[in-house]
Structure 1
């Protein structure tokens, strides 16, 4: 599966790396691409609940404000 997470709070490449690392550590995630300008992260995964994405991003210091299925 693939989803786009709309992420608020990212302002630099350091932020992008924080979000990418946090999402990559979730069991079941196979790929993560984070777009600073688009304020989003596209995540490829197998069987991961949306709440896990939100929690991982929040723990990194950012906020998921929306999730779209792709």
Structure 2
């Protein structure tokens, strides 16, 4: 199972975390989404993760996102 961490800008509350979790969970291959508000990061786990789709889902939720890093 792959795991990637994304730095996300604009998150400030549990509503932000819920919005991102909902959008990213719908991406094919994603099995788990963990939002860390204090670190401004989202960790995504799953099989065959498509970085472009994950990043697009975060943007769709209304937030900025950087390139993924190994988590």
Secondary structure (helix, strand or coil) at the match of 2:42 reads: strand
- In structure 1, how many angstroms separate the alpha carbons of the residues matched to 2:31 and 2:54? 13
Q: CA RMSD in A?
A: 0.9
2:3 is aligned to: 2
| Structure 2: runs of 5+ lacking an equivalent | none
Runs of 4+ in structure 1 deviating by more than 2 angstroms, as ranges, are none
- In structure 2, how many angstroms separate the alpha carbons of the residues matched to 1:65 and 1:9? 12
1:60 is aligned to: 61
- In structure 1, how many angstroms separate the alpha carbons of the residues matched to 2:24 and 2:12? 17
Secondary structure (helix, strand or coil) at the match of 2:66 reads: strand
| Structure 1: runs of 5+ lacking an equivalent | none
